[in-house]
Amino acid sequence: MLTEVAVKQAMVVGGAGFIGTHLLAHLKAEGRYDRLVSVDIAPPQRPVAGVAYEIHDIRAPFPERLDGAFGAIFNLAAVHRTPGHEPHEYYETNLGGALNVCEFAARNGIEAILFTSSIAVYGPGEDLKTERSVPEPVSDYGRSKLLAEGIHRQWLAGEAARRLVIARPAVIFGQGEGGNFTRLAKALRKGTFVYPGRKDTIKCCGYVGEIVRSMDHAMDFGEREFLYNFCYPQAYTIEEICQAFERVAGYRSPRGVVPQPVMNAAAIPFEVLNRVGVRNGIDRERILKLVRSTRVEPAALLASGFRFSTDLEGSLRDWKSRSTGDVMV
């Protein structure tokens, strides 16, 4: 448990992003910290009242104006969309950012860091991954996250009083996400979604409201180093996710299954457009990502005593209650 003195201030690096915004709102509502500081390259789209927002690119060293006696740093900042960036961009931000965050923490005597890594460090596959699985990243994003974990562990080794939590989230969804689940909801609402390749692809996932609760729990757990996967215990298939949207929001059923070879062939013209500067987000690498399973178990989190307050359907209902009409964004 963090001491009373140590919890007066907390910094959220990447606090203007999707998870960061929800984490700051959670920490503010909980009232544990007297002062919350967000550090991000961009201003927030949904600012949390009472949070001090600082603009800074974590690829550069932290300026002295940000120095302070922080009880904890939550390091969420990352370049994460895959595909979508040049290989060097993942390392410049995810690895370089880790170096700068840890240097800042060492300079200010900060003794607790929570770092959000990713299940991408395991690589895709049908086999079940736990925290004991050997990391085998296949993407620059996954490799950069695994290297960043090592940077944080080097910081941890520097002082006996330091504590480190590493969270490896699966797909996180909820209000303000703007990613996979938001695009899926839009396609289902419009009746344009088709299953890519098959219906039984496993897509482990978790609600944003649950992951911020898990962060609180992990920081309080008390171990010097705590590594945990984050997703719901049930390994949902893409078909089960679509069915949950149908029940909660009344969206239309998918329009069938399109074989992967057909999808690959259809993607080639869009790849050509991408190469000449017409960005569209469609290519064979993204299709392969849709067809591959991500099957992960939150074994360490459950063993630590954390209990989920929702399941997939319950979380979608909560998300819908925060939206307008049948549009879930």
We report the CATH number of the domain holding residue 149 as 3.40.50.720
pLDDT at 208: 99
**pLDDT greater at residue 197 or residue 80:** 197
Residue 285 lies in a domain: no
Residue 156 lies in a domain: yes
- Model confidence over 205-216: pLDDT tens digits? 999 999 999 999
Residue 217 belongs to what domain range?
9-172+207-230+297-309
Residue 313 in tokens: 């359907």
Could you give the CA distance from residue 122 to residue 17 in angstroms, rounded to a whole number?
A: 24
- List the one residue out of 73, 27, 70, 69 whose CA is nearest residue 48: 27
Lowest mean pLDDT among 139-143, 217-221, 285-289, 312-316: 285-289
| Residues forming beta bridges with residue 73, ordered by sequence position | 11, 113
Could you give the CA distance from residue 35 to residue 15 in angstroms, rounded to a whole number?
A: 14
Residue 202 lies in a domain: no
Interstrand relation of 171-173 and 205-207 (parallel, antiparallel or unpaired): parallel
pTM for this entry: 0.91
pLDDT tops 60 at residue 105:
yes
Lowest mean pLDDT among 12-16, 201-205, 277-281: 277-281
Lowest mean pLDDT among 7-11, 20-24, 155-159: 7-11
The total number of structural domains that make up the chain: 1
Residue 3 lies in a domain: no
Average pLDDT over residues 64-91: 86
Residue 122 lies in a domain: yes
- List the one residue out of 158, 214, 189 whose CA is nearest residue 327: 189
Residue 112 lies in a domain: yes
Residue 59 lies in a domain: yes
pLDDT at 81: 62
Residue with tokens 């040049």: 86
Residue 259 lies in a domain: no
pLDDT at 87: 80
The answer to whether the CB of 58 falls within 8 A of the CB of 77 is: yes
Average pLDDT over residues 272-298: 79
